């Protein structure tokens, strides 16, 4: 059996209308895919059925002879009236809830239509507002030409993110994610060390390959949509780890290169503290074969490095250097 042609429906005034389908005896009216009525005419009065906002209306042509019913027509989204949206703003988006019966939203900037969208949010970057601009939204049903009233008004006032609060552990600086921030810049001694893009991690960190005593670290952040709105700098953390001296010996005199941040040095022989000096050398009055010598750096706050390399004194002792060690305070 041949299938009837598919109706194409539209709205005219208070009626849903369609053109005649050859050989059709009647037309089935469907709401949300369920048959609710029949008509032999080429229209259906909107008032004939209790349509509700958001109902999906369609029509099938039907016959009682040698033809089978048509496919379902195009659909119409019903709206008798539309509720006004309630809009709210995040840092990067203007949003609102779905309005029953609406298939499009008009976004207004200072009472002028800026754009339309079928979504329920739009980024501020696509609107290019200025501080103080008024934002409104209207819902629209295109099938029935119905508009809502204006939404509530919001005034654009995007501010910079809060400053991070950072801490330093060994060579790693870390901080908690800043609300609405997506990018972070890490500075060492006022110079940019790295940039980090991370909008998901609860804790963000960066590990330096090396730091020297007294290096100062700070961080700032921003949202990539508004790179000009940069946070204030974080607190400054200072790397206060003292390097251990690298000592050498010549006869009974030990020496080393001065350590940045050290105000004095402690001298140890055979594990026992001997004395301290502010010089970068020390000469023993006497040493015995097998005496083991080490040195620690000390800063003005009393923080100490780990021990230096260890030198064992013999009558044939020559300069000895091993790899630098360091203590994390």
Q: Evaluate if residue 319 carries a pLDDT over 60.
A: no
Q: Which fold has domain 166-238?
A: Immunoglobulin-like (2.60.40)
Contact yes or no for 86/96 (Cβ under 8 A): yes
Task: Give how far Cα 20 sits from Cα of 41, 71, 176, Å.
Answer: 9, 15, 67
Q: How far is CA 271 from CA 29, 216, 293, 311, 312, in A?
A: 99, 34, 8, 12, 12
Element (H, E) at 206: strand 203-207
Name the DSSP letter for residue 242: P
Judging by beta carbons within 10 Å of its beta carbon (0-12, 13-18, 19+), is residue 145 exposed, middle or buried? exposed
Is the whole-model pTM more than 0.75?
no
Q: Is the pLDDT of residue 322 over 70?
A: no
Check residue 206 and give its pLDDT: 97
CATH class, domain 87-155, is mainly beta
Minimum mean pLDDT range among 116-125, 175-184, 274-283, 313-322? 313-322
* Average pLDDT over every residue of 63-85: 93
- Half-sphere exposure for 158 (CA within 13 Å, toward CB): 25
CATH 3.90.79.10 fits 2-77, yes or no: no
Mean pLDDT of 215-219: 96
Q: Tell me how far apart the alpha carbons of residues 72 and 66 are, in angstroms, rounded to a whole number.
A: 19
> Which of 219, 245, 120, 226 minimizes the C-alpha distance to 165?
219
Report the alpha-carbon distance of residue 18 to residue 6 in Å, rounded.
Answer: 10
How do residues 54-64 score in pLDDT, each as one tens digit? 999 999 999 98
Which of 302, 174, 322 is CA-nearest to residue 234? Answer: 174
Confidence band, pLDDT 50/70/90 cuts, at residue 169: confident
The enclosing H or E element of 126 equals helix 124-127
Q: Name the more confident of 73 and 158.
A: 73
Q: Which two tokens stand for residue 326?
A: 């360091």
Looking at CATH, the fold of the domain delimited by 248-312 is given as Immunoglobulin-like (2.60.40)
Closest listed residue to residue 249, CA positions, set 304, 326, 322: 322
- Rounded Cα–Cα distance for residues 240 and 208 (Å): 14
Q: What is the pLDDT of residue 316?
A: 66
Chain segment 258-270, per-residue pLDDT in tens: 998 899 999 999 9
pLDDT digits (tens, 9 = 90+) for 246-255: 999 999 999 9
Residues in the chain: 329
Count of CA atoms in the C-beta half-sphere (13 A) of 138: 18
Q: 94-129: per-residue pLDDT in tens?
A: 999 999 999 999 999 998 999 999 999 999 888 888
Cβ–Cβ < 8 Å for 123, 140: no
Q: What contacts 32, CB < 8 A, 6 or more positions away?
A: 55, 56
In the chain, domain spans = 2-77, 87-155, 166-238, 248-312
For residue 101, which of 122, 83, 121 has the smallest C-alpha distance?
A: 83
Q: Please name which of 291, 323, 290, 324 lies closest in space to residue 305, comparing C-alpha atoms.
A: 324
Q: What residues contact 294, with CB distance under 8 A and at least 6 apart?
A: 247, 268, 307, 308, 309, 310, 311
Which residue do the tokens 């001065």 mark? 258
Answer whether 166-238 and 248-312 agree in fold. yes
Angle at 29 between CA 23 and CA 34, to 5 degrees: 125
57-79 burial: b if 16+ Cβ within 10 Å, else e? bbbbbbbeeebebbeebebbbbb
Residue 286 has pLDDT above 80, yes or no: yes
The mean predicted confidence, pLDDT, of the chain is: 91
Query: Bridge-partner residues for 227, per DSSP?
Result: none
Q: What is the pLDDT of residue 320?
A: 47
Q: What span, in angstroms and rounded, lies between the C-alpha atoms of 307 and 289?
A: 21
């Amino acid at each position: 059996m041949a299938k009837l042609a598919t109706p194409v429906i539209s709205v005219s005034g208070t009626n849903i209308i369609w053109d005649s389908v050859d050989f059709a005896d009647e037309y089935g009216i469907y709401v949300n895919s369920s048959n609710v009525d029949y008509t032999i005419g080429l229209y259906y009065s909107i008032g004939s059925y209790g349509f509700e906002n958001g109902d999906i209306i369609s029509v099938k042509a039907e016959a009682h002879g040698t033809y089978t019913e048509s496919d379902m027509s195009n659909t119409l989204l019903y709206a008798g009236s539309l509720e006004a949206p309630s809009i709210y703003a995040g840092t990067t988006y203007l949003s609102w809830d779905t309005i029953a019966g609406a298939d499009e939203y008009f976004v207004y900037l200072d009472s002028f239509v800026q754009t339309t969208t079928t979504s329920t949010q739009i980024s501020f970057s696509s609107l290019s507002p200025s501080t103080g601009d008024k934002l409104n939204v209207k819902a629209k049903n295109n099938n029935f030409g119905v508009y809502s009233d204006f939404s509530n008004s919001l005034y654009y006032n995007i501010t910079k993110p809060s400053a991070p609060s950072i801490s330093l552990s060994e060579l790693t600086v870390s901080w908690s994610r800043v609300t609405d921030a997506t990018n972070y810049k890490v500075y060492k001694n006022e110079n940019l060390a790295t940039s980090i893009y991370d909008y998901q991690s609860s804790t963000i960190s960066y590990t330096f390959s090396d730091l020297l005593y007294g290096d100062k670290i700070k961080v700032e952040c921003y949202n990539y949509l508004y790179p000009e709105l940069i946070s204030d700098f974080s607190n400054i953390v200072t790397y206060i780890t003292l390097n251990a001296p690298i000592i050498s010996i010549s006869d009974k005199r030990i020496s080393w290169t001065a350590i940045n941040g050290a105000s004095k040095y402690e001298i140890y022989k055979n594990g026992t503290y001997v004395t301290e000096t502010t010089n970068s050398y020390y000469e023993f009055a006497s040493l015995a074969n097998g005496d083991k010598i080490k040195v620690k750096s000390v800063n003005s706050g009393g923080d100490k490095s780990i021990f230096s390399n260890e030198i064992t004194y013999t009558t044939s002792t020559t300069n000895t250097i091993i790899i630098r060690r360091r203590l994390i305070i």
